[in-house]
Structure formats: structure tokens, C-alpha cells
Amino acid sequence: MKELDLILERYVREALRGAPQAEQAAFERFLGLPDPLLAGCLLGSEPLEDPRMQALATRVRYLCHGSRVC
């Protein structure tokens, strides 16, 4: 889903490299989620069960908030 790529791009550019190892591991798992679930947690209000992945989704949304694509 192109919209998800645009949202995740900002996180990758601005935060992934400096993120703690646990957050980087959560991001790898995050990318393995089905697109409808990713869209639900990034574009909607569908929570994730894993607290680390939920925190990551919140951070991605926060970084994207200032972007033109969000």
C-alpha cells in the first residue's frame, strides 16, 4: 500500500538509525504485519496487542503528523 510506504518513510529517514535495538527489532516485526492491520493502526485507531509495536505505531504517527502525507 503506497500510503503506508509514505508514512513509514519518514520514520526510516529520521528515527530508525538512532532507535534502540528493541525498537529496531519491533520495526522489523511491524513491517511483517498485513497491510490492513498496518493501515488500521497507523491511519485509524486499531490498537496492537504487543506494547512495543503499539509504542512504535504511536511514534511513527507522531513523526508523520508534521508531514504533508499524513
DSSP 70: -
The residues near 30 (Cβ < 8 Å, ≥ 6 apart) are 38, 53, 56, 57
CA 46, 26, 17, 9: dihedral to nearest 10 degrees?
-30
**The pLDDT of residue 70 is above 70:** no
Task: State residue 66's pLDDT score.
Answer: 66
Map out the domains of the chain as residue ranges: 2-65
Better-predicted residue by pLDDT, 12 or 64: 12
Task: State residue 1's pLDDT score.
Answer: 73
pLDDT tens for each residue of 26-68: 999 999 999 999 999 998 788 899 999 999 999 998 888 766 6
